[in-house]
Amino acid sequence: MEILEKIGDAASKTYKFTAEKTSKIAKETKIKMQINEYKGDIKDIYIEIGEYVYEKFVKGEKTDLEELNQRCEEIQILSDKIVNCKNEILKLNEKRQCKNCYAEIEISANYCPNCGFKQEKEEEKSEQQEESKEEEEIKKEENE
Ligand SMILES: [Zn+2]
């Protein structure tokens, strides 16, 4: 009886592990799709900028720098979002990026195995700051 219980226990543990792994992969896939969407958005803006500049050239008009700056800022925001997504994937896999050589390293590593750079301890504070930044962005988007 006891043995059977133990077997059941082990089986459920394995199941849990697999389920966790599967949901991790699903999450990572979802984030990667999001990244591709952002990349597509950036490409669209590049094209729009090009068309805008050419149109102005054809019409013999001056390009509005403010207009262009605004489009560039949009690209910047999307790029930041991509960086955040990539960091999320790293976190999912319990990895982080070395700030010196950008190698993927274990989240618990104190030193980069690639370049030996001392890693900062992950502080919860900076995470909260990031979150509030994201919230601000969402608020901004809602206002637009
Ligand atoms: Zn490094």
Q: What is the pLDDT of residue 17?
A: 76
Contact 31, 89 (CB under 8 A): yes
- pLDDT category of residue 11 using cuts at 50, 70 and 90: confident
Q: How many Å lie between the centroid of ligand 1 and the Cα of residue 126?
A: 21
Q: How many Å lie between the centroid of ligand 1 and the Cα of residue 89?
A: 18
Q: What is the pLDDT of residue 122?
A: 61
Q: Are residues 60 and 99 in the same domain?
A: no
Q: Which of 56, 77, 93 is the last residue of a domain?
A: 93
d(C-alpha 88, C-alpha 136), whole Å: 19
Count how many domains the chain has: 2
Q: Are residues 106 and 139 in the same domain?
A: yes
Q: Are residues 51 and 99 in the same domain?
A: no
Q: What is the pLDDT of residue 13?
A: 75
Q: Are residues 84 and 107 in the same domain?
A: no
Q: What is the pLDDT of residue 128?
A: 46
More confident site: 140 or 17: 17
Q: Are residues 80 and 132 in the same domain?
A: no
pLDDT digits (tens, 9 = 90+) for 58-90: 999 999 999 999 999 999 999 999 999 999 999
Q: How many Å lie between the centroid of ligand 1 and the Cα of residue 70?
A: 35
Q: Are residues 23 and 65 in the same domain?
A: yes
Q: How many Å lie between the centroid of ligand 1 and the Cα of residue 91?
A: 17
Q: How many Å lie between the centroid of ligand 1 and the Cα of residue 25?
A: 26
Angle at 18 between CA 14 and CA 21, to 5 degrees: 140
**Percentage of the chain modeled with pLDDT above 90:** 62
Q: Are residues 40 and 4 in the same domain?
A: yes
Q: Are residues 73 and 115 in the same domain?
A: no
d(C-alpha 70, C-alpha 65), whole Å: 8
- Residue span of the structural domain in which 77 resides: 1-93
Q: How many Å lie between the centroid of ligand 1 and the Cα of residue 34?
A: 27
What SS3 state is found at 109?
coil
d(C-alpha 2, C-alpha 44), whole Å: 63
Q: Are residues 75 and 6 in the same domain?
A: yes
Quote the mean pLDDT of the chain. 85
d(C-alpha 55, C-alpha 63), whole Å: 9
Q: Are residues 49 and 75 in the same domain?
A: yes
Backbone dihedral region for residue 121 (phi beyond 0: left; psi -120 to 50: alpha; all else: beta):
beta
pTM over 0.75: no
Q: Give the other-Cβ count within 10 Å of 38's Cβ.
A: 19
* Mean predicted confidence (pLDDT) in 28-34: 96
Q: What is the pLDDT of residue 125?
A: 42
- Which residue type, as a one-letter code, is found at position 62? K
Q: Are residues 80 and 29 in the same domain?
A: yes
Which residues sit opposite 25 in a β-bridge? none
Q: How many Å lie between the centroid of ligand 1 and the Cα of residue 109?
A: 11
Q: Are residues 12 and 76 in the same domain?
A: yes
Q: Is the dihedral of CA 44, 46, 52, 55 positive or negative?
A: negative
Q: How many Å lie between the centroid of ligand 1 and the Cα of residue 115?
A: 4
Nearest to 71, CA basis, from 82, 59, 63, 83 = 63
* Mean predicted confidence (pLDDT) in 85-114: 93
pLDDT digits (tens, 9 = 90+) for 122-138: 654 444 444 555 555 55
* Mean predicted confidence (pLDDT) in 40-64: 97
